[in-house]
Amino acid sequence: MMDDAALIENIIRYCDKIKDAADRFGNDEEDFLADPQFHDVCSFYITQIGESAGDISAEIIEKHPDIHWKGLIGMRNVIAHGYHGIDLARIWLTISEEIPVLKETW
């Protein structure tokens, strides 16, 4: 298992990759909703963030109560398992609002 520093590095790297994807594919919801490749790329990156978040130690979680850890892990599960379909509007909200805040935390 990776240590917290490596897990946090992964989270940061995938936050950056999501920003890069938005810069490449488009920075608004209409662009996102219209492009299946944009969905797939960002969904994969969000899944990777959730994977790393699921392995973060209780100590780091306690130090950063402002991060919605359960939400990160939950979003990973929804994307990975496709529970009742994937809500693209919710993924866009994650990309546009939650990922930048997560990135700023570190």
DSSP assignment of 30-42 equals HHHHH-HHHHHHH
84 is catalytic: no
Asked about 13 being catalytic, the answer comes back as no
One-letter amino acid of 86? I
- For the chain, the average pLDDT equals 92
Q: Tell me which residue of 51, 38, 23, 53 sits closest to 91, measured CA to CA.
A: 38
**Local confidence band at 86 (pLDDT 50, 70, 90 cut-offs):** confident
The pLDDT value recorded for residue 18 is: 96
Among the listed residues 13, 81, 84, 90, the single catalytic one is: 81
Residue identified by tokens 């496709």 is 82
Q: Give how many domains the chain has, as a whole number.
A: 1
Interior angle at CA 62, CA 59 and CA 68, nearest 5 = 120
Given the residues 24, 39, 64, 76, the one annotated as active site = 76
Residue in the structure block whose two tokens are 């850890």: 69
CA distance 27 to 20: 10
The pLDDT score that the predictor gives to residue 106 is 79
Q: How confident is the model at residue 27 (pLDDT cuts 50, 70, 90)?
A: confident
Boundaries of domain holding 40: 4-105
Going by C-alpha positions, the residue among 29, 11, 10 that lies closest to residue 89 is 29
